[in-house]
Amino acid sequence: MNGVLVTGGAGYIGSHVVQQLVARGERVVVIDNLSTGFREAVHDAELVVGNVGDRELVTRVLDHHGLDTVMHFAAHTVVPESVSDPVKYYGNNTCNTCNLLASCTDAGVQHFIFSSTAAVYGMTDAGIADEDTPTQPINPYGMSKLMSENMLRDVSAASPMRHVILRYFNVAGCDPSGRIGHSAPHATLLIKVACEHAVGKCDSLCIYGTDYNTPDGTGIRDYIHVEDLAAAHLRALDHLRRGGSSLTLNCGYGHGYSVREVIDAVKRVSGRPLNVIELPRRAGDLAMLIARSARLQDVLDWHPKYDDLDFIVGTAFRWEQKMVRQVEHAG
């Protein structure tokens, strides 16, 4: 039976993918150093605590379990941190991916699915990106992911390995059943931060920039529910197993919501007032970034189930409530 190695499978997105893989009967092994992941987020899969850049460890795991597929999520993802500490991002996101690819080549891995980002596009003229939009990252995070994409393409060209690169737009929400969620501290994703404020974890919520050329002056982003994103990974795996060619695909819904619209949704779902502070724009932020994702739908026959802002916010808010209850119970 084929098996899947999931790097970073104890983290936010990786754990949701592991859950879906296990639910359909896949044999899954997770490698995670638990720097931002959580042991309790891995259910019914073997967890190996370690670094994906450790070639000896990864090769041993791949060989011992006979795994033919790697899904690679392990990465640092905070854009401002990448600007202040670029070496950290190139070391973890790029150099460790290079070592991982070397281990995969040594072990004869056939399929590789890579967690990439819309940050590879940088500034787009119209605020909309398809897979052929020029890649011009404006921060080390985006560049570290683009460099990894290029390495993966080169390895695939020189070996039997085939790959799917999935470029995420704004991932949000949590498992609707509440089994797992987004637990990382110091998160910067708007919906999570807004829900943290709604449950009282922080005193205020900041809007960065209210003078963009958008209908309400705030930035617009394409939000995709993490469960729909996870399902795209399983579709990508099925594509490769059928002998499909290597692909690069955007993961988004093809439409966006402004910061104010997201905040209004959090107010509706939570039923609570929010203390919103308006601040100037942050350097490098875009007015709008929306995915053209027709290729994902057409090639992988992927269709979203949770394309509803209030539903996305609701799953995130209920997870934050659950975490508050856990802390209160522990205390």
Catalytic residues: 141
E runs forming strands in the chain: 3-7, 27-32, 46-49, 69-72, 111-117, 128-129, 162-168, 170-172, 205-208, 220-221, 223-225, 247-251, 257-258, 276-279, 288-291
Q: What are 278's two structure tokens?
A: 């308006």
Tokens, residue 326: 């856990």
- Specify the residue for token string 């973890």: 92
Calculate the dihedral angle through the C-alpha atoms of 142, 144, 146, 151, rounding to the nearest 10 degrees: -170
Question: Measured between alpha carbons, how far apart are the two ends of the chain, in Å?
Answer: 45
Radius of gyration of the chain, Cα coordinates, nearest whole angstrom: 19
Q: Which 3 state secondary structure label does DSSP give 146?
A: helix
